[in-house]
Amino acid sequence: MLGLVLFLHGCSREPSGEVFRSFQFGVTELELRATPGWAFGSHSVDFYEVSPAGRRHLGSTELDHDGARLTERNAALSTLGGGCWELTLSGQQQEPQAWLIERTTSGFSIKLR
């Protein structure tokens, strides 16, 4: 039994990186965390849903930002209506990425547009 608990705990995705932006949706928060790449490599960006029920990893992407630290200016959220939002991520070395965020019965989903 202990082995199963340790195995399941080891498979859970712990938050990585530093929070550079978050958006509040009532009691739920969309948290964006970045882990910088080596030297001038791209950042790994992870999306987390944080609610009273816990933290859930929604997805991840890479963002080229010339090795500079990501800040709140690299992410913008606009309302599309009907429980949908567009998250735009921008880096210095690439076209902006547009992500669709939708409210679902179990929380949020996110996908590249």
One DSSP character per residue, 13-69 reads: ----SEEEEEEEETTEEEEEEEE--STTPPEEEEEEEEETTEEEEEEEEEE--TTPP
**Of 35-39, 74-78, 95-99, 106-110, where does mean pLDDT reach its minimum?**
35-39
Domain 15-112, classified CATH 3.40.1280, yes or no = no
Q: Label residue 4 by pLDDT band (50, 70, 90).
A: very low
Question: What is the band of 54 on the pLDDT scale with cuts at 50, 70, 90?
Answer: very high
What is the mean pLDDT of the segment spanning 20-42?
91
Q: Which residue has the tokens 């995705």?
A: 13
What is the mean pLDDT of the segment spanning 88-109?
A: 94
Helix (H) or strand (E) holding 95: none
Grouping H, G, I as helix, E, B as strand and the rest as coil, residue 112 is strand
Domain ranges for the chain, please list them. 15-112
66 against 18, higher pLDDT? 18
